A and B are shown apart, each in its own frame.
Chain A
Amino acid sequence: MIAFLLKRTANAAFVMLAVALLAFVIFRFFGDPVEMMVNEQATLQDRVELRERLGLNDSFVVQYTRFVTNAVQGDFGISYRNQQDVMVLIKDRFPATFELVLVATVISLVVGIPAGVITAVYRDSRLANILQLSSIVGVSLPSFVVGILLILAFSVSLGWLPAFGRGETVDIGWWSSGLLTPSGRAALILPAISLSTFQVTLVMRLVRAEMLETLRADYIKFARARGVPTARVQWRHALRNCLMPVITLTGMQIGNLIAFALVTETVFQWPGMGMLFIQAVTFVDIPVMAAYLMIVSFIFVVLNTLVDITYAWVDPRLRDDTARANG
């Protein structure tokens, strides 16, 4: 287990270095931050001096080395635009994104798994057809369109839910939670649904495919022959064996959701990390962009590792192996 973790850490460090390198390669195509920082009346000399002070005239290698050296010590610098410590900026935004992604993931599992089972078990029934059809819609609609449609329906026409923002939040230490207030929960509903539409259909289709496969397996037939109730066979024996890929997928997709939440966050003005990143891109705020990319890649790496561990926990064969190896 220790060797496994060490290997993982080395991998992670390598991935992060590569991400930082790629990030620095693309930053030069984003434009010149100085042009965004000074106002119209600044002279050419002011601009040159500012560029020099920010170290933008240094060579690529020098800038990259400086960034990595500082990043290793947890120092990502100061945002050009907000003049705030980048880590603080991201730390303040992380809870918003995380809660959104968490709720979207829960929705995708709670809706997606039963829907998948139903479409597999009651194939060709009317309900299954409706679910299948709506899953096509869910897969094909881009999430910003879903977001705008939800806003039009539930905010403008019905007036039930807020169109943007996060509502009131409660601070628990450095974590600001919107889950504890009524307005925070109301504000979470539309963005979470919008973010989860794609995810729901993905889970549903995966569960359906796996179920169809599993239901044909011999042990299901034996279970039925033994007289185990059909529902129990379907929802317990068959479903449990379908969940492995679902867990993998969900784990991987949490990373994706965090990364792609920026579309949902832009539509709903959700004050999360994606929003921060989008603005950083507009203003060529290099410290924020660099830190965001590093943190998102870090999350990806951590999730991958966690998925591997969860695998071991769910699948008894893997668990036995690791138990023996450690024992």
Chain B
Amino acid sequence: MKLRHLLLATAAVAAFTGTAQAENVLKWGANRDIGSLDPYSFGDSFTINVLNHVYEGLVRYNKDLKIEPALAESWEILEDQITWRFKLREGVTFHNGNPFTAEDVVASLTRVSHETSPLKGNLPAYVSSKVVDELTVDITLNGTYPLLLNDLTNIHIFDNEWMTENDALMPTDVGAGTEGYATYNANGTGPFIVESRQPDAKTVFVVNPDWWDEPQHNLDKIELTPVNSAATRVAALLSGEISFTNDAPVQDLPRLVAAPNVEVLEGVDLRTVMIGFPFRDTLTTGEANPFVEKSVREALYKAIDLDLIHQKVMRGKSRNAGATIAPPIPGYTEALDTLPEFDPEASKALLAEAGVAEGLEFEFNCLSDGLVNEEQFCQAIASMWSRIGLSPKLDVAPRAVQSPKRTNGKTDVYTLGWATLPLLDSYSPLLQIFHSKDGNAGVFNWGGWSYPELDALIDAAGSELDLEARLALQTEALGIVKDEMIMIPLHQQPMAWAVTEDVADMPLFPDAKPRLWFAQMGSDS
């Protein structure tokens, strides 16, 4: 395992470097800036990920992406099965010196689940929370729900007193047209403190000397500078003006690999790229929709040459997927991951048998700013489908333009990438993509399918507290998704980070989230 290898390397480096004289400043060149200093202000995972260096949750993912205690030391489910009791860590202080208590947890959960919060969907089962004593909190849910801890990894805890003093108890509401104190200021418990911020230019974080945990990093400072242009980011890395980027452009990787002062860290993302079909009665052209027939979906699946896309479009860096989730995600089994046979002749036969007319027109909706090389693989797939006698009309545009068409059923076939974040569990795609549309279920069920037996399995998993039993249900549900070819998986997409020689160790995480509290700098002298 690459992670384990890196873990050992970290330990070795930590043992040998000893005390460094010079200040270790990690210059992070990201492909965009964070939206604000308030992680609850905008449903943007990059902002949340960066601010996780400042704010922490009750629990967190460790280096192996397993959940471990953070601000909560332990937890238990009470007898009613819907209340969770959290014992909080003692002696934790916020950056302003205030002690961390149960009040802070209740205030933070209230804030993130407030009706104007764009992130309230991140706590789908949350009903209320109350202070039991200074370091104990009870969280009540709307039913038995196994994934509360996964949800809580991403819910950052604010200081109640600080929010009260600065009138920041409620999330900022764009509709009301008021600004919030937390947009400009931050006060968390995390390993780094915000020192200064100039939007679009530079945000500086300094190490928190009073962090409750034993630091596994040796950074003194992080300078986050957004560099939107890929070419400039590469140039800045080559000239050493930035020492780390979490987005090394795929087309420039050979050049970065060849550079003497740069190291490229490559891996496969958890994000699985899939194609979805419409299940409505008619296509956008007004014709009857043949995709409701499984044999037609199968025909389109068999017509895609996954190996060709892997080699030519993804330059051999992707991983062909047979399952709709990546191998590290709980619920995955190898049986789910069998690849289809590429057989255009069989596709033609299936289409003929289903009575699909030659030259059937349908829209194929792709994003120009979405997945890795999305435009290219969409073009490739469209021409593969043309070869079996269909006429896909490729519609490529930015996310902001395509999303309304997708959610309102104004298109036919579409792409979707799903990384199961922040749950890191197969329950995430099952509930949000494959379940029938119903409240917070099936929000991404753009095709509009409904499989009652699948819904029953997902609902059962959603209230099953026993891990083994739950994963068995989820695996069974994923089996239905695969057999019915509700969506067809293509691949897990590649990811690449790059560091200069100033950085001794930078663990690469498959959820593509930089966790700089594991980073080690140090010259090799």
Contacts and interface: CB of A to CB of B under 8 A. Distances in A.
Interface of A: 29-33, 35-47, 49-50, 53-55, 75, 77-85, 89, 92-93, 148, 151-152, 155-156, 159, 162-166, 266-269, 271, 275-276, 278-279, 282-284
B401 A31 contact: yes
Contact of B440 (A30, A41, A84, A93): A41
Given A35-B404, A82-B36, A163-B235, 11 more contacts: A37-B174, A41-B124, A41-B440, A46-B120, A55-B175, A78-B179, A83-B179, A164-B232, A165-B201, A166-B201, A275-B228
Interface of B: 32-33, 35-36, 38, 41-45, 115-116, 118-122, 124, 172-180, 183-184, 198-202, 225-229, 231-232, 235-236, 238-239, 241, 369, 398-404, 407, 421, 432, 437, 439-440, 443-444
Given A54-B174, A156-B239, A269-B228, A36 B400 contact: yes
A243 B377 CA distance: 55
Given A46-B121, A78-B179, A284-B400, A83 B232 contact: no
Contacts of A75: 177
24 contacts: A29-B401, A30-B400, A31-B403, A37-B174, A39-B118, A41-B443, A42-B118, A53-B174, A53-B176, A78-B174, A81-B35, A82-B183, A83-B180, A83-B183, A84-B183, A85-B179, A92-B199, A155-B241, A163-B241, A164-B225, A269-B201, A269-B227, A275-B200, A278-B228
Contacts of B180: 83
B400 A165 contact: no
A162 B240 CA distance: 10
Contacts of B45: 39
Contacts of A268: 229, 232
Contacts of A166: 201
B42 A83 contact: yes
A79 B184 CA distance: 14
B122 A50 contact: no
Nearest to B406: A35
B400 A32 contact: yes
Contact of A163 (B42, B232, B437): B232
B193 to A, nearest CB: 21
Contacts of B226: 269
Contacts of A80: 42, 174
Contacts of B402: 31
Q: B116, B174, B179, B399 — which one has the most chain A CB atoms within 10 A of its CB?
A: B174
A35 B228 contact: no
A269 B229 CA distance: 7
B312 to A, nearest CB: 27
B443 A44 contact: yes
Q: B238, B398, B400 — which one has the most chain A CB atoms within 10 A of its CB?
A: B400
A31 B400 contact: yes
Contacts of A84: 36, 179, 183-184, 199
Contacts of B232: 148, 151, 163-164, 267-269
A195 to B, nearest CB: 15
B444 A40 contact: yes
Contact of B437 (A35, A44, A55, A159): A44
B443 A283 contact: no
Contacts of A78: 172, 174, 177-179
B255 to A, nearest CB: 11
A69 B183 CA distance: 27
Nearest to A39: B43
B443 A42 contact: yes
A162 B172 CA distance: 36
A80 B175 CA distance: 9
A246 to B, nearest CB: 32
A194 to B, nearest CB: 12
A166 B118 CA distance: 33
Can you list the 10 inter-chain pairs with the closest CB atoms, starting with the nearest?
A: A39-B43, A31-B400, A53-B175, A41-B121, A35-B403, A42-B121, A271-B201, A31-B401, A271-B200, A32-B404
Contacts of A165: 201-202, 225
Contacts of A43: 121, 439-440, 443
A163 B232 CA distance: 7
B291 to A, nearest CB: 22
Given A78-B174, A82-B36, A151-B232, A39 B201 contact: no
A89 B421 CA distance: 31
Contacts of B41: 83
A39 B48 CA distance: 11
Given A50-B175, A78-B177, A155-B239, A40 B432 contact: yes
Nearest to A45: B439
Given A31-B404, A35-B400, A41-B121, A83 B239 contact: no
A266 B41 CA distance: 25
A269 B177 contact: no
A110 B421 CA distance: 55
A267 B229 contact: yes
B174 A159 contact: no
A232 B383 CA distance: 70
Given A40-B444, A83-B36, A31 B398 contact: yes
A284 B120 CA distance: 21
Contacts of A29: 401
B50 to A, nearest CB: 14
Contact of A269 (B225, B239, B404): B225
A38 B43 contact: yes
Given A269-B225, A283-B400, A82 B235 contact: no
Given A164-B232, A269-B232, A271-B201, A30 B401 contact: yes
A326 B124 CA distance: 72
A249 to B, nearest CB: 29
A214 to B, nearest CB: 43
Contacts of A152: 235
A81 B200 contact: no
B401 A164 contact: no
A43 B227 CA distance: 33
Contacts of B439: 43, 45
A132 B494 CA distance: 48
A164 B42 contact: no
A164 B443 contact: no
A282 to B, nearest CB: 7
B200 A155 contact: no
A35 B399 contact: yes
A148 B174 contact: no
Nearest to A268: B232
B270 to A, nearest CB: 14
Contacts of A30: 400-401
